A = this chain, B = another copy of it.
Amino acid sequence: MNSHNFTNLQEFIVRYIEFSETDFRAVIPYLQIIRLKKGEVFIAEGEVANRIAFTNKGYLRVFINHDGEEITRDITPLHSFATALPSFITQEPSCEVISAITDCELFILSKQHLELLYDNYPKWERLGRRIIEDMFVDAQLRLNQFITQTAEVRYRYFLKRYPDMMHEVPLKYIADYLGIKLQSLSRLRKNMEWY
């Protein structure tokens, strides 16, 4: 039934923990594959996030409605996990929205099934811990940059780290991600040395 190609997911996982084929197979019956068109919503505002997505194809973004304006707080790299984590963790309605920047193919795992894995496979709980640790370190790095660097430096870092996004992700979202206005990013790009 589920003879899909999960190579990307498997490669993602083994960067965190040694996982046999058997360890991995535990998740397969629970994985659901969905496709989103550009602009479609994965987690809506006010909805309780009860599933997590692995981006097998395409880019998601996390945004917040702030004074009637959408502010993108995060962009999900290819081949990584995304959900509205505060809602996923607390099971309260999400104030974050997750939607597709490009057409996406997602592997979906429900919270219920994830907890089943956590309960029955300590290795999966360890994997979960390691992934979230890594996400936290990333978030810290980003905070460091907000505190110590100019928008231009943050932009350069973004380009270096996610070169593929340059072509797929509109500048508006990147500007939001950097914490500046689109017009400021545009100005900054104009004045930048492009070595």
Q: Which residues of A contact B (CB under 8 A)?
A: 64, 66, 71, 73-74, 85-86, 89, 118, 122, 125-126, 128-129, 132-137, 139-144, 146-148, 176-177, 179
Give the shortest distance, in Å, between A40 (CB) and chain B (any CB). Answer: 23
5 extra interface residue pairs, beta carbon distance < 8 Å, beyond A74-B140, A86-B141, A139-B139: A64-B144, A73-B144, A73-B147, A74-B143, A146-B146
- Give the residue among A125, A128, A144 with the most B Cβ atoms within 10 A: A144
A125-B129, A126-B118, A142-B143 given; A137·B73 CB < 8 A: no
Give the shortest distance, in Å, between A92 (CB) and chain B (any CB). Answer: 11
**Given B64, B85, B132, B139, which contacts A148 in the complex, CB threshold below 8 Å?**
B64
Bound CA–CA A20/B136 (angstroms): 28
A122-B122, A134-B89 given; A139·B129 CB < 8 A: no
- The A contact surface, by secondary structure, is helix
A146 and B148 contact, CB distance less than 8 A: no
B89 and A147 contact, CB distance less than 8 A: no
A85 and B133 contact, CB distance less than 8 A: yes
Bound CA–CA A166/B5 (angstroms): 54
List B contacts of A144 (CB < 8 A). Answer: 64, 73
Q: List 11 A-B contacts (CB under 8 A).
A: A64-B144, A71-B147, A71-B148, A73-B140, A73-B144, A85-B137, A86-B137, A89-B134, A146-B146, A147-B176, A147-B179
**Given B66, B132, B147, B177, which contacts A129 in the complex, CB threshold below 8 Å?**
B132
List B contacts of A74 (CB < 8 A). Answer: 140, 143
Give the shortest distance, in Å, between A65 (CB) and chain B (any CB). Answer: 10
List B contacts of A129 (CB < 8 A). Answer: 125, 128-129, 132
